[in-house]
């Protein structure tokens, strides 16, 4: 799917500029590579990350052989127009070592936590490890997960009305965790939820 890419970019004397790929859902930096003008043009035309391989001296589409492509949602440039930032939805690991990022298997915090929870839930759904609370709840079916969300919502409402800020934070965390399980069971990506919020933000 074509996307708009910045114009009048500043390339170095080798005709290249650095490209940062950032995960849309988690905010994690997945990888850093280089692109020439042709690679940037292909990003715009296809909506798929393309780069220039300095070691091989040729153009390459990320995931061309592995299938681990980067679907580009948005392309931005910095104030000097000499760095390109790609906001992406990754398919599989971004690194050739099979790690999720080229900077290792980072542990998400803050804004990246919903995406990290989604990954954990997806793994539990696929592997069903013995002793896993998440796997045990999902095995009881969609209605059991829905009832748990209803229960946690009630506890959060009570905490908001009567209890301490710390208790509110704890109950909110319980609700977000069980919501992550529900989304995983329904296979609704966190990225889609974030996209809805983003669309609503732009409307307001």
- Into which CATH architecture does domain 17-90 fall? Roll (3.10)
The whole-angstrom separation of Cα 151 and Cα 148 is 5
In degrees rounded to 5, what are phi and psi of residue 151? -65, -45
For residue 180, give both structure tokens. Answer: 């992550």
DSSP of 168-185, one letter per residue? Answer: HHHHHHHHHHHHHHHHHH
Average pLDDT, the chain: 90
Q: What is the pLDDT of residue 31?
A: 95
Average pLDDT over residues 169-196: 89
Confidence band, pLDDT 50/70/90 cuts, at residue 38? very high
Residue-wise pLDDT tens digits, 128-164? 898 899 989 988 999 999 999 999 999 999 999 999 9
User: So where are the chain's domains?
Assistant: 17-90, 110-203
Confidence band, pLDDT 50/70/90 cuts, at residue 32? very high
Average pLDDT over residues 14-18: 97
The whole-angstrom separation of Cα 196 and Cα 80 is 31
Residue 110 has pLDDT above 70, yes or no: no
Query: In what order do the strands lie in the sheet containing 84-90?
Result: 29-35, 17-23, 84-90, 70-77
Rg of the chain (C-alpha set)? 20
Task: Map tokens 């949602």 to a residue.
Answer: 73
Q: What is the pLDDT of residue 170?
A: 94
Q: What is the pLDDT of residue 75?
A: 97
The whole-angstrom separation of Cα 127 and Cα 116 is 17
Confidence band, pLDDT 50/70/90 cuts, at residue 111? low
- Into which CATH architecture does domain 110-203 fall? Orthogonal Bundle (1.10)
Residue 171 has pLDDT above 90, yes or no: yes
Residue 183 has pLDDT above 70, yes or no: yes
**Alpha-carbon distance values, 17 to 6, 90, 111 (Å):** 13, 21, 28
pTM, entire model: 0.66
Residue 109 has pLDDT above 60, yes or no: no
Confidence band, pLDDT 50/70/90 cuts, at residue 115? confident
């Amino acid at each position: 799917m074509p996307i708009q890419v910045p114009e009048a970019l500043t390339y170095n004397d080798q005709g290249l500029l650095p490209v940062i790929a950032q995960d849309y859902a988690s905010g994690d930096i997945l990888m850093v590579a280089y692109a020439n003008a042709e690679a940037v043009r292909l990003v715009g035309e296809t909506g798929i990350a393309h780069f220039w391989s300095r070691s091989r001296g040729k153009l390459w589409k990320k995931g061309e052989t592995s299938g681990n492509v980067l679907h580009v949602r948005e392309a931005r440039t910095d104030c000097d127009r000499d760095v390109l930032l790609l906001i992406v939805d990754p398919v599989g690991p971004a690194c050739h070592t099979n790690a999720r990022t080229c900077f290792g298997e980072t542990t998400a915090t803050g804004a990246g936590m919903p995406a990290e929870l989604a990954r954990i839930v997806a793994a539990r759904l696929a592997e069903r490890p013995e002793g896993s609370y998440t796997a045990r709840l999902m095995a009881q079916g969609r209605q059991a997960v829905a009832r748990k969300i209803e229960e946690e919502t009630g506890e959060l409402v009570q905490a908001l009305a009567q209890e301490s800020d710390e208790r509110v934070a704890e109950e909110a965390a319980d609700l977000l965790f069980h919501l992550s399980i529900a989304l995983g069971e329904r296979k609704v990506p966190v990225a889609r939820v974030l996209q809805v919020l983003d669309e609503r933000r732009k409307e307001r």
